[in-house]
Every structure is written in structure tokens, then in C-alpha cells.
Amino acid sequence: MPQHRPAEPDIQRYYTEVFAEADRLHRTPQGRLEARRTRDLLARLLPAPPASVLDVGGGPGAYAGWLAAAGHRVHLVDLVPAHVAAARAGCPRLTATVGDARDLPLPDDSVDATLLLGPLYHLTGQADRVTALREAARLTRPGGPVVAAVISRNAALIDLTAQGRVDERSWRLLRRAYETGVNDPETGFTTAYFHRPEEVVAEFTAAGLPTPALYGVEGPLWPLLNALDTAADDRLFADAVACAETFEQDPAVLGASAHLLAVAGTADRC
């Protein structure tokens, strides 16, 4: 049985010692917008429950627990052992193991749908990202969806500028990340890759998947939510959700979201 490859030390350290991923989706208005929109999209894109869902890179279980509560049979895989332990403790209905998105010891066609809502963030090499997508396609029954999230190429520069957190040094780092897609951990985030929409399409097709449908998750208003300290402003939050829904598949606006969601059904295998 193949063994998972360990996460890069920087990623392990970041999610174990620096950043509490379990708090991210409810700590800020922007996080709540991401969670709300991602759940809305998954409700539309996944098979109706009960279905078997593989959540690769599922962290401490923010979406896996929600899907299990809805009646899906969920298995979560994550590189960070602390995330796997948190997922098991937080939702006894799901199963969870430590593993690497590029090499999972599971049989072909074993699940109805596969989620990659994290691995493509942290694989900086295109070949590794294509390998993770190809592995997701292998595990998903023909016709089932592979759903992958990526961070927009524009997100870091927009977010930190909107919050007034950019100085001369960080501006150079952020501009380099914008030009290359590869984030320097000196920005405060960990090892990461930021996608342009067309790159996601190319990586899906390189993995043998059909051309994916792309969705902007947060829409263009997300920078306002944190920059204006809108924790109590329900109207602006509702407007941001409505705006994201309106523009979610507009090619001219996709890159304005902090995250993109790509989905394609797996093809029949000969």
C-alpha cells in the first residue's frame, strides 16, 4: 500500500503552530462569506444525499461535518495530523485519515464525488496539481463530480491593500506573487500557489477531466467586508452574497473573487 508523502515543513508548521484553520470560516465577515457561498455551491453541484463524498484536504472538517450532517457518507483526508484529529473529534459521523492528495491508498471508482478544497492551494508545481486532480478523477465514479477550489491570483494583493497592511517590502513580495503565482511565506501566509481562471481549466484538462465550469466564490465585494469592519452589518453581507451569486460565472468578474470553484464530471473509463 503506498504511503502518503509528508507535507512540506512550512505548511505543517503554519497549520499546526501559526494559524488556526478551524476558526477561519467564522472569525471574519470574509470567512463567513466564503463558507456561505461554498456551501451554497456544493449543495447545487454535489449529488443528493446520501452519497459517498471524499473530502481531500478537508482540514478540521468545516465542510465534511456539514455534508455528513446532511446525510452524506464522508471520508476526509488531510496532510496535517492535527486537522484529522479535530475532524474526528468534531464529527463522529465521518471518517478521517492523514494523506497526500497526490497519492491516496483508495480503490478506483470508490466514491460518488471528490472535493479538493485545499490541496491545489499548496502545490506550487503544476505537475503536482495535475497529479492531485488525476488522482481525484481516478477515485470518483464515472459521471461523478470532481470539485476543486483555488485561490485567485488577485486575492492577496487585493486583501492586504484593502486592509492597509501593505508596506514597501510586502508590496514587492505581493507583486512577485501576482506575477508568478507562487506565494513567498514571508508575506505571512504559507507556501501557496494562486491561480488565474484559465490555469484551472488547463490543469483539469491536463488531468484528463472535461473542461470544468468555473464559479467565483466571494464575488467582487468581499474586500469591503473586512476593510470596513462590518461584523454587525447584515445588509452589506447580504448584498455581498447577492452580488457573488449574480456574477458567479461571469468571465470578466471571476478573478475578482478570493477563491474560485471548478467542477467537472468524470468521464466513462474504457
> For position 232, what pLDDT does the model report?
55
Residues 200, 194, 259, 135, CA torsion sign = positive
d(Cα 57, Cα 128) in Å, to the nearest integer?
14
Query: Amino acid identity of 133?
Result: L
Q: pLDDT of 162-196, one tens digit each?
A: 878 899 889 999 999 999 999 998 888 999 999 99
pLDDT value, residue 208 = 97
Is the preceding peptide bond at 50 cis, omega within 30 degrees of 0? yes
Q: At what angle are helices 155-162 and 168-180 packed, to 10 degrees?
A: 160
- Cell numbers 484593502: residue: 162
| Measured distance CA(139)–CA(15) in Å, rounded | 27
10-residue stretch averages of pLDDT, the chain, 270 residues long: 50 90 91 97 98 98 97 97 96 96 97 97 96 98 98 93 86 95 91 97 98 98 78 82 98 96 83
Q: What is the pLDDT of residue 230?
A: 52
Q: Report d(CA 151, CA 31) in Å as an integer.
A: 13
Q: How does 185-195 read in b/e, with b if 16+ C-beta sit within 10 Å?
A: eebebbbbbbb
Model pLDDT, residue 163? 79
Of 156, 161, 230, 164, which Cα lies nearest the Cα of 188? 156
Cα 71 to Cα 68: distance, rounded to the nearest angstrom:
5
Q: What pLDDT was estimated at residue 231? A: 53
Beta carbons within 10 angstroms of residue 133's beta carbon? 30
Please give the grid coordinates belonging to residue 170: 510586502
Closest Cα to residue 37, out of 263, 218, 247, 242?
218
56, three cell numbers: 481531500
Name residues whose C-beta falls within 8 Å of residue 252's C-beta, 6 or more positions apart in sequence.
none
DSSP labels, 191-230: SEEEE-HHHHHHHHHHTTPPPPEEEESS-TTHHHHHHTT-
- Domain locations in the chain? 9-264
Domain 9-264 has CATH 3.40.50.150: yes
Please, are residues 179 and 230 in contact by the beta-carbon 8 Å criterion? no
